[in-house]
Amino acid sequence: LALISLPIRPHIVLYPGDQRPLLRRRSSLEHGDFLTASELLIGCHVGTHVDAPAHFCREGATIDQLSIRHFVGPAVVVEVPGTDRIEAADLKSAIPSNHHVLIKTDNSRHLHSSEFRPQHCYLTPEAVDYVLSFDPLSIGFDYYSLDPPSESAFPAHMLAAERGLPVFVCLDLSKVSPGRYE
């Protein structure tokens, strides 16, 4: 079983403009305190996280408003290596209906670097439309955005948000083989 969430660490890759996570010790048994406790200060957009529809749509659902079905259940990992732009034709394989669709690209190799890669692989809106035609439970991707950094309107993300779907981003799929999972 592979862990697909990035570990939170001081030098985690960040989306441009996001703050580094801060972990600090609040008390310590070693220093005579009654317990050892830490504090974590982190933005909601750091590392592996879920982009709720409200992240892109004013009337979109927030995480707490989404059904649990968007977070558990059958999944399929579709691998699209060797490209920096995924078109609908690149997703030729049939995607099962009502599954979480996790898209593995060459991005997974770069998630453990602290440098943001503006040239990351992304999906065209047509590719997202193709995925949406299978009524997915969610879409997962192995970098910060379905869209290229040059796209400020986020058309691929908007398509998923308008359908009420969460998008899981920064999934580390480097050790996950294509196929079906639960």
Beta bridge partners of 101: 76, 139
What per-residue confidence (pLDDT) applies to 92?
82
List CB contacts of 173: < 8 A, sequence separation 6 or more.
Answer: 4, 77, 102, 104, 108, 140, 142
CA distance 99 to 63: 19
pLDDT in tens, 15-35: 999 999 998 999 999 999 999
- % residues pLDDT > 90 (the chain): 85
Confidence of residue 1 (pLDDT cuts 50, 70, 90): low
CA distance 147 to 152: 9
What single-letter amino acid sits at 106?
Answer: D
* Whether pLDDT at 10 is above 90: no
Kind and range of the H or E run holding 140:
strand 138-141
Pair of tokens at residue 4: 């697909």
When the pLDDT of each residue in the chain is averaged and rounded to a whole number, the result is 94
What per-residue confidence (pLDDT) applies to 149?
83
When pLDDT is averaged across residues 137-159 and rounded to a whole number, the result is 94
When pLDDT is averaged across residues 41-69 and rounded to a whole number, the result is 94
What per-residue confidence (pLDDT) applies to 19?
92
pLDDT in tens, 60-116: 999 999 999 999 999 999 999 999 999 999 998 779 999 999 999 999 999 988 899
pTM for the predicted model, two decimal places: 0.91
Work out the widest C-alpha separation in the chain, in whole angstroms. 63
CA distance 171 to 70: 16
What single-letter amino acid sits at 168?
Answer: F
